[in-house]
A = this chain, B = another copy of it.
Amino acid sequence: MIVILKKNVSQSMIDQLCGELRSRGLEIHDSNGTDAHILGLVGDTKAIAESWILAHPAVETCRRISEPYKKANRKFHPDDTVVQVGDVKIGGGNFAVMAGPCSIESPQQMELVAQRVKAAGASILRGGAFKPRTSPYSFQGLRSEGLDLLLEAAGKTGQPVVTELMNTEHLPLFEKVDMIQIGARNMQNFELLKAVGRTKTPVLLKRGLCSTLEELVMSAEYIMAEGNENVVLCERGIRTFETSMRNTLDISAIPMLKKMTHLPVIIDPSHAAGIAWMVEPLAKAAVAVGADGLMIEVHNDPAHALCDGAQSLTPDQFDNLMGDLKAQLGFFGKTLN
């Protein structure tokens, strides 16, 4: 970390700051030029908050040089992490497709969709039981009953499942769930992150609507710091000024996250676009840019879906898309897993 001192501060104030920094185990490189007086802090600055440094009266500003994350950092773990969900591998050349309805509505719906997405090549079944909805008057999901329907449908097709956890108190209900999703709105629900960090279940961590990539990685670090290193990151669109799409897919996040971290990174084009016809081109862009997988909403009858029908593919549309993606994955040398 670099600390830039204010001009004309007394030496005693600087000495006092340096004393505090040294007492936290840091070594100090002092560089006093005509333009600026700079302290270079050497050592483990991970736990030093910038706001703490900035509050000192001698400090003009400070800049972090080394990343504030460690377990997720590719510098300390150069190889790609491969996360295993059931017998499905994600990362390190393995490409996985998670598909299913936005919300679980009935046994018939789940079974039909499970069979169709499995047949089309999706290895992991998704479905929402607990639904985060903007309005208290919207359908809130079938909750624990929905979880049962999801597991039942997946049991018949032999797919592992991924579904969203919204509250630590629901964790006991998720024991048989193969992969726990932390949704965009809970990306900085730190108590929830710690709770899933104490399990061994793989976690799909979605980026918040206005979270920076560094914040996303720091949230992964919360999970990993508790002992669970099975984290898959998911870009699902960010909020910008543009209104013609539901969200703006930040496609550059994929190569940037892969530089920052060794964790697998997937894309959710359904939420990014919010419109079914746009899922196809975005899914193809995801493969080309180097993502490790996709999460796609598929519904047997989008016009009657209780949630997000406008962005759901029909099983037939999903079949066509998967046909194209299989060829494209072959071209790019990835294994559909």
Contact = CB atoms under 8 A, between A and B. Distances in A.
Binding site secondary structure of chain A = mixed
Interface in A300-329: 302-312, 327-328
Contact of A137 (B35, B47, B186): B47
A55 B305 contact: yes
A240 B243 contact: no
A133 interface: yes
Interface string A48-66: 0101101111000101011
A279 to B, nearest CB: 10
Given A191-B167, A307-B49, A225 B136 contact: yes
Contacts of A92: none
A144 interface: no
Contacts of A250: 240, 242, 248-249
Interface stretch (A81-89, A104-112, A115-123, A283-291): A283-291
Interface in A29-50: 29, 31, 33-36, 38, 40, 42-43, 46-47, 49
Contact of A238 (B185, B191, B248, B312): B248
Interface string A212-256: 111100100110010000000000001111111100111111111
Contacts of A138: 47, 49
Contact of A278 (B51, B243, B255): B255
Contacts of A15: none
Given A51-B311, A52-B305, 18 more contacts: A29-B38, A33-B40, A34-B42, A46-B135, A46-B137, A51-B309, A55-B302, A140-B190, A166-B190, A186-B189, A210-B210, A212-B242, A238-B240, A240-B240, A241-B241, A251-B285, A281-B288, A331-B331
15 contacts: A31-B38, A35-B65, A36-B40, A51-B308, A51-B311, A54-B310, A57-B303, A69-B135, A137-B225, A166-B190, A238-B241, A251-B251, A251-B285, A252-B272, A255-B278
Interface of A: 2, 4, 27, 29, 31, 33-36, 38, 40, 42-43, 46-47, 49, 51-52, 54-57, 61, 63, 65-66, 68-69, 132-140, 166-170, 185-186, 188-192, 194, 209-210, 212-215, 218, 221-222, 225, 238-245, 248-256, 259-260, 272-273, 277-278, 281-282, 284-290, 302-312, 327-328, 331
